[in-house]
Amino acid sequence: MESQRNVTKIAGALSSFGLALCLIFVTSVATATSDDSEDLLSRDLSDKAYEFGVYLGNDPDMLYRLTVFEKVVIDTSEFSKDEISILRNSGTKVYAEISISTAQKGTSVHEKKKSARLKKVPQTLTNTYYMDPSKKNWRNFVVNTRVKSAEKKEVDGFYLTGADVYDSVGKKNKSDVAAGVFRTIIEIDKKYPKKKIIVEDPLGAFGDDVITREQILRHVDAISKTELNYKPNYSASDDGQDTYQQQTSKKRQSWVKKLKTYKRKGIKIYTIDFTQKKSNKEIAETRARKNGFTSFVGTRDLDNVLWYGGQTSSFVTRPFTEDSIWNTPIDDNPKIEEKSDLMIDTIEDGYSLGRLFLNVEQWTVPIYYADNSTPTYVVDCTSGCGPGFTGSLGYETAAMPIPDNAEPDDTSDGLMTVVNVETGYSYDYFQAEKKGKNWTTAGGFRFDLSDDGVQEISATSTGARGAGFPLMAGLVHRDEILQGHIPHALVMAVDYPKAGSFVWPASAEDGRSEENYAIPEGARIQLNPDLDVDSLGLNRTGTIIARALQEYGAFIGDNSDGLSIYVEGRYAKSPEWENDATGEESIISMEDINDIPLDQLRVLEMGELLTNPYLK
């Protein structure tokens, strides 16, 4: 990728002349449709969380997140054809980001195409030159090299940036540059007629001519307009201290008028704005709805954007802050508990008979998604609920957002969690049950998924798990198995955790063992990183989980009648764990990790034993 500026953790930061962002989320206002033939890994994801998203980084671990989009824009040079197929096979339409007017300084591309350089355009980006799309040699390079390279990876379409180069050239060159932008689009469309085209910020180049507008309809499927309401003022050092200012009313009204003209002709309109004020976000979204546009308002804070924009898919597989204990890999040479072997012995002697299992069909965590428009149900806390759930400690009745299709796990624990995508809160339920039009729960607990996922010890720091962990923490997700990597710690239940005390990051315990070396809840277990996982004879799923246990480990979070790791819910409760190749055989089973040798597990240094004095 020819990056136009050095970006790290930027969400929703589109610079002039193209994209300069890591990740954009645009809330979906339509149901996805697919005219593709059935793919090997196809599944029904018609209820996609977002209609349109952009990711221009190079982290393959992001792929599982991107499956929540109907359409996603990526820098295809950073991903292999096989990696891109993961997105397409999930039902996501993949668009390749293609700049039609930029070349990076010092590259062979720029050196070979110097004659096409626009010399009088303000070079606001220090490592980029702007090129003239009216020059045939440059246009040929874009169509026959950049676009062709992306097309070979079987993308669904092209997201063309750089059309707004027109807005910065002098009057003398404007007509030629506009014609070059339009000709580039036409040539791409003619060479790849089955591919969809989205053009970013083309309004100046497209002009007001009705005939030209009618021609555009034959070649362009969607237009994205950045900075319609708010725009960023980038700091020179790119230190994250950007400010955001309101777009002028005159410009906004002019753009809206043009965009509505295209919308009436059937072209989809995406608008993308930048602000850190919630009131501004609401204004921008209200304006978009009024005009029938799909809107997103982003900030530079990736963690906030993840929840600020909403997230309505079960592929929220890595909640909490990047530096959360849940998302932090284990150090290369961690300290081990002095009595680790004796502690591991206590779990080998339990009901599991020295084998590790996956909670797949039972004792799972069904995940559901809601927003502020989701109907609320009265939830009666029969035992006790925490602040944020009912407002205070006690047995109050509260109205909570719960989707109509919600169904707790069919076991005595009756677990389920509901994520409000607009607030970023998850609502955990223990022994949940629907009675008539209302719900009851033995315990209800609210967690902020943009926080660190760790509770401070208090009278309400219990949870649906014995250790007080959020239910969204530490789950094995289906898309992680499809992706081939689990980028976070897991949660493990053991037969006899230590009674009466726990260790951080736990905030409570439900242990039942008085043995001296019983493992306390909150302890972190690691599979020996020197163990050759490939030598264990595990299947693909087992191998992925074993490597996660080496890289991130698992926290002891509950007691059980078997040594087990938690998995997101199955069947109607979450995306089915079916084998994508056959549609029948599951890609995961409770026995997949049976052959992980327990004597290769170790307990990492724990810290002091804690108690919760409020729960005595």
Give the model confidence (pLDDT) of 484-504 as tens digits: 789 899 999 998 899 999 999
**236 confidence band (pLDDT: 50, 70, 90):** very low
Backbone angles phi and psi of 84, in degrees to 5: -65, -35
The answer to whether residue 262 scores a pLDDT higher than 60 is: yes
Query: What average pLDDT does range 265-275 have in this prediction?
Result: 79
Domain count along the chain:
2
Cα(573)–Cα(608) distance, integer angstroms: 38
Residue 413 forms part of a structural domain: no
**380 confidence band (pLDDT: 50, 70, 90):** confident
Residue 128: the pLDDT is: 74
Per the CB < 8 A criterion, the answer to whether 606 and 338 are in contact is no
Residue 20: the pLDDT is: 32
Cα distance between the two ends of the chain: 58
Per the CB < 8 A criterion, the answer to whether 198 and 95 are in contact is yes
Tell me which H or E stretch contains 358.
strand 357-359
Residue 251 forms part of a structural domain: yes
Bigger pLDDT: 333 or 383?
A: 333
Omega cis (within 30) before 505: yes
Residue 46: the pLDDT is: 41
Q: Which two three-digit tokens encode residue 471?
A: 């239910």
Residue 328: the pLDDT is: 92
Mapped onto helix, strand or coil, the DSSP state of residue 478 is helix
Residue 440: the pLDDT is: 86
Residues 97 and 201 in one domain: yes
- Summarised one tens digit per residue, pLDDT across range 178-217 is 888 889 999 999 999 999 999 888 887 776 555 456 677 7
Residue 556 forms part of a structural domain: yes
Query: What average pLDDT does range 338-355 have in this prediction?
Result: 82
Q: Which two three-digit tokens encode residue 546?
A: 């074993």
Residues 304 and 358 in one domain: no
Ranges of beta strands (E only) in 34-92 are 50-55, 69-74
State the residue for tokens 């078997």: 562
**7 confidence band (pLDDT: 50, 70, 90):** very low
Instruction: Classify residue 593 by its DSSP letter.
Output: T
User: Could you tell me where the DSSP H helices lie in 292-431?
Assistant: 302-308, 340-348
Residue 385 forms part of a structural domain: no
Burial 524-533 (b: 16+ CB within 10 A, else e): bbbbebebeb
Q: What are the contacts of 34-37 at 24+ separation with CB within 8 A?
A: 34/91, 34/93, 36/88, 36/156
Residue 18: the pLDDT is: 35
Bigger pLDDT: 77 or 68?
A: 77
Residue 59: the pLDDT is: 61
**28 confidence band (pLDDT: 50, 70, 90):** very low
Bigger pLDDT: 108 or 133?
A: 133
Bigger pLDDT: 511 or 574?
A: 511
Residues 351 and 294 in one domain: no
The residues, any chain, with a CB within 8 Å of residue 421's CB and separated by 6 or more, are 49, 307, 310, 311, 312, 369, 370, 371
Residues 347 and 227 in one domain: no
Query: What average pLDDT does range 518-522 have in this prediction?
Result: 95
**298 confidence band (pLDDT: 50, 70, 90):** low
Residues 242 and 356 in one domain: no
Residue 396: the pLDDT is: 56
The answer to whether residue 308 scores a pLDDT higher than 80 is: no
Query: What average pLDDT does range 526-546 have in this prediction?
Result: 95
Round the average pLDDT of the chain to a whole number and report it.
76
Residue 583: the pLDDT is: 46
Residue 386 forms part of a structural domain: no
Query: What average pLDDT does range 403-413 have in this prediction?
Result: 87
- Summarised one tens digit per residue, pLDDT across range 142-154 is 999 999 999 999 9
**438 confidence band (pLDDT: 50, 70, 90):** confident
Backbone angles phi and psi of 8, in degrees to 5: -135, 125
Per the CB < 8 A criterion, the answer to whether 269 and 292 are in contact is yes
Residue 59 forms part of a structural domain: yes
Residue 333: the pLDDT is: 93
Residues 476 and 591 in one domain: yes
Torsion angle, alpha carbons of 170, 175, 178, 184, to 10: -120
Percent of the chain with pLDDT over 90: 29
The answer to whether residue 604 scores a pLDDT higher than 50 is: yes
Of 265, 292, 308, the domain-final residue: 308
Cα(313)–Cα(324) distance, integer angstroms: 21
Q: Pairing mode, if any, of strands 157-161 and 196-200?
A: parallel
Most confident of 270-284, 293-307, 459-473: 459-473
The answer to whether residue 400 scores a pLDDT higher than 70 is: yes
Residues 147 and 218 in one domain: yes
* pLDDT-wise least confident of 3-17, 503-517, 555-569: 3-17
Residue 9 forms part of a structural domain: no
Task: Please report, for the domain that includes residue 241, its CATH number.
Answer: 3.20.20.70
Single-letter amino acid code for the residue at 70: E
Determine the structural domain holding residue 178 and report its residue range.
Answer: 23-308
In DSSP terms, 565 is beta-bridged to 358, 492
The answer to whether residue 137 scores a pLDDT higher than 50 is: yes
Residues 531 and 610 in one domain: yes
Residue 497: the pLDDT is: 92
Residues 475 and 589 in one domain: yes
Cα(128)–Cα(137) distance, integer angstroms: 18
Residue 564: the pLDDT is: 93
Q: pTM of the prediction? A: 0.56
Query: What average pLDDT does range 162-187 have in this prediction?
Result: 84
Residues 288 and 348 in one domain: no
Cα(459)–Cα(388) distance, integer angstroms: 14
- Summarised one tens digit per residue, pLDDT across range 542-559 is 999 999 999 999 999 999
**571 confidence band (pLDDT: 50, 70, 90):** very low
Residues 152 and 298 in one domain: yes
Per the CB < 8 A criterion, the answer to whether 596 and 348 are in contact is no
The answer to whether residue 415 scores a pLDDT higher than 90 is: yes
Residue 110: the pLDDT is: 54
Residues 111 and 256 in one domain: yes
The answer to whether residue 592 scores a pLDDT higher than 90 is: yes
Bigger pLDDT: 8 or 421?
A: 421
**390 confidence band (pLDDT: 50, 70, 90):** low
* pLDDT-wise least confident of 282-291, 377-386, 566-575, 591-600: 566-575
Bigger pLDDT: 254 or 581?
A: 254
| Three-class DSSP labels, 313-353 | CCCCCCCCCCCCCCCCCCCCCCCECCCHHHHHHHHHCCCCC
Residue 160: the pLDDT is: 92
The angle formed by the CA atoms of residues 112, 118 and 122, to the nearest 5 degrees, is: 125
Residue 402 forms part of a structural domain: no
Residue 594: the pLDDT is: 93
